[in-house]
Amino acid sequence: MNKQSMTENTGVPKQRNPWAWIPTLYFAEGIPYVVAMTVAVIMFKRLGISNTDIALYTSWLYLPWVIKPLWSPIVDLLKTKRWWIIIMQLLIGAGLGGIALAIPLPNFFKITLIFMWLLAFSSATHDIAADGFYMLGLNEHQQAYFVGIRSTFYRIAMITGQGLLIILAGFFEVSTGLPPLEINVSTNPAYAKEIRMPEIPQQDTGGENKNFFAGFPQQAEISTQNIPSEKLDSIRKVVTEHNRKNGFVRLQAGALPQGNEKKEESWWSEYISMPLKNMLKNQFQDKVKLVSGNTLTGNVAIVAIKLNTKPEENKEMVLNVKFSNGDNSIRLIEGERLTFNSANQDQAAYLLFQCDPKLTRSTQAAFKGTSGNIHLAWSITFLILAGMFVLFSFYHRMILPYPKSDQQAAGQGQNLFKEFFKTFASFFQRKEIGVIIAFLMLYRVGEAQLIKMASPFMLDPRQIGGLGLTTGDVGLLYGTFGILALTAGGILGGIAASTKGFKYWLWWMVLAINVPHLAYVYLSFAQPESQLIIGLCAAIEQFSYGFGFTAYMLYMIYISEGKNKTAHFAIATGFMALGMMLPGMFSGWLQEIIGYKNFFVWVMLCMIPGMIPVFFINVKPEFGIKKKEE
Mean pLDDT for the stretch of residues 303-327: 83
- Position 29, amino acid: E
Q: Are the C-beta atoms of residues 468 and 460 closer than 8 Å to each other?
A: yes
Q: Say whether pTM exceeds 0.85.
A: no
Q: Angle at the Cα of 481 (from 61 to 489), degrees rounded to 5?
A: 80
| pLDDT above 50: residue 7 | no
Pick the more confident residue, 3 or 21: 21
Least confident interval from 162-176, 499-513, 600-614: 162-176
| pLDDT above 80: residue 237 | yes
| Alpha helices in 560-614, H assignment, sequence order | 565-605, 607-611
Q: Angle at the Cα of 356 (from 352 to 359), degrees rounded to 5?
A: 130
Q: In this predicted structure, what is the pLDDT of residue 302? A: 94
Greatest alpha-carbon pair distance for the chain in Å reads 96
| pLDDT above 70: residue 6 | no
Q: Give the H/E segment covering residue 497.
A: helix 482-500
Q: In this predicted structure, what is the pLDDT of residue 251? A: 55
Q: Are the C-beta atoms of residues 66 and 578 closer than 8 Å to each other?
A: yes
Mean pLDDT for the stretch of residues 489-497: 77
| pLDDT above 80: residue 21 | yes
| pLDDT above 50: residue 116 | yes
Own/partner long-range contacts of 130-136 (Cβ < 8 Å, ≥24 apart)? 130/25, 130/26, 130/28, 130/29, 130/81, 130/85, 132/75, 132/76, 132/81, 133/25, 133/81, 133/82, 133/85, 133/400, 133/403, 133/406, 134/22, 134/25, 135/566, 136/81, 136/403, 136/405, 136/406
Q: Are the C-beta atoms of residues 598 and 287 closer than 8 Å to each other?
A: no
For 510-540, the pLDDT digits (tens) are 899 888 899 999 999 998 888 889 989 988 9
* Omega within 30 of 0 (cis) for the link into 217: yes
For 560-604, the pLDDT digits (tens) are 766 665 567 677 877 887 888 788 888 888 888 888 899 999 999
Q: Are the C-beta atoms of residues 529 and 322 closer than 8 Å to each other?
A: no
Backbone angles phi, psi at 500, to 5 degrees: -115, 0
Q: In this predicted structure, what is the pLDDT of residue 414? A: 54
Three-state DSSP class for 184? Answer: strand
| Eight-state DSSP code of residue 38 | I
**List of domains in the chain:** 13-176+373-410 (1.20.1250.20), 181-253+265-372 (no CATH), 413-625 (1.20.1250.20)
- Spatial CA neighbour of 242 closest among 321, 305, 331: 305
Q: CB-hemisphere CA count at 13 Å for 591? A: 31
Q: Are the C-beta atoms of residues 616 and 435 closer than 8 Å to each other?
A: yes
- Spatial CA neighbour of 74 closest among 146, 35, 115, 124: 124
Q: Would the CA dihedral through 90, 92, 93, 99 be positive or negative?
A: positive
Backbone angles phi, psi at 335, to 5 degrees: 100, 25
Q: In this predicted structure, what is the pLDDT of residue 261? A: 41
| pLDDT above 50: residue 216 | yes
Query: How many angstroms separate the CA atoms of 121 and 116, rounded?
Result: 9
Q: Would the CA dihedral through 163, 165, 168, 172 be positive or negative?
A: negative
Query: How many angstroms separate the CA atoms of 500 and 622, rounded?
Result: 8
Could you write out the DSSP letters of every residue in 532-563? HHHHHHHHHHHHHHHHHHHHHHHHHHHHT-ST
| Alpha helices in 270-316, H assignment, sequence order | 274-284
| pLDDT above 60: residue 616 | yes
Query: How many angstroms separate the CA atoms of 60 and 577, rounded?
Result: 10
| pLDDT above 80: residue 39 | yes
- How sure is the predictor about 146, in pLDDT bands with cuts at 50, 70 and 90? low
| Eight-state DSSP code of residue 345 | T
For residue 372, count other CB atoms closer than 10 A to its CB: 23
Give 522's contacts (C-beta < 8 A, 6+ positions apart): 537
Q: Are the C-beta atoms of residues 43 and 169 closer than 8 Å to each other?
A: yes
- How sure is the predictor about 300, in pLDDT bands with cuts at 50, 70 and 90? very high
For 74-110, the pLDDT digits (tens) are 776 678 888 999 999 999 999 999 999 999 887 888 8
For residue 79, count other CB atoms closer than 10 A to its CB: 17
The highest-confidence range among 210-219, 239-248, 292-301, 338-347, by mean pLDDT, is 239-248
Mean pLDDT for the stretch of residues 490-508: 79
Query: How many angstroms separate the CA atoms of 45 and 471, rounded?
Result: 10
- How sure is the predictor about 141, in pLDDT bands with cuts at 50, 70 and 90? low
For residue 200, count other CB atoms closer than 10 A to its CB: 14
Q: Are the C-beta atoms of residues 173 and 471 closer than 8 Å to each other?
A: yes
- How sure is the predictor about 372, in pLDDT bands with cuts at 50, 70 and 90? confident
Three-class DSSP labels, 245-258? HCCCCCCCCCCCCC
- How sure is the predictor about 286, in pLDDT bands with cuts at 50, 70 and 90? low
Q: In this predicted structure, what is the pLDDT of residue 10? A: 37
**Mean pLDDT over all residues of the chain?**
79
For 180-203, the pLDDT digits (tens) are 889 999 999 999 888 888 887 765
Residues present in the chain in total: 630
Q: In this predicted structure, what is the pLDDT of residue 463? A: 73
For residue 264, count other CB atoms closer than 10 A to its CB: 7
- Spatial CA neighbour of 298 closest among 454, 450, 191, 414: 191
- Position 280, amino acid: L
Rg for the chain (alpha carbons), in Å?
28
For 202-212, the pLDDT digits (tens) are 655 444 557 78
| Eight-state DSSP code of residue 357 | T
Q: In this predicted structure, what is the pLDDT of residue 11? A: 38
- Spatial CA neighbour of 484 closest among 527, 436, 542, 544: 542
Q: In this predicted structure, what is the pLDDT of residue 477? A: 76
Positions of E strands within 335-489: 337-341, 349-355, 363-372
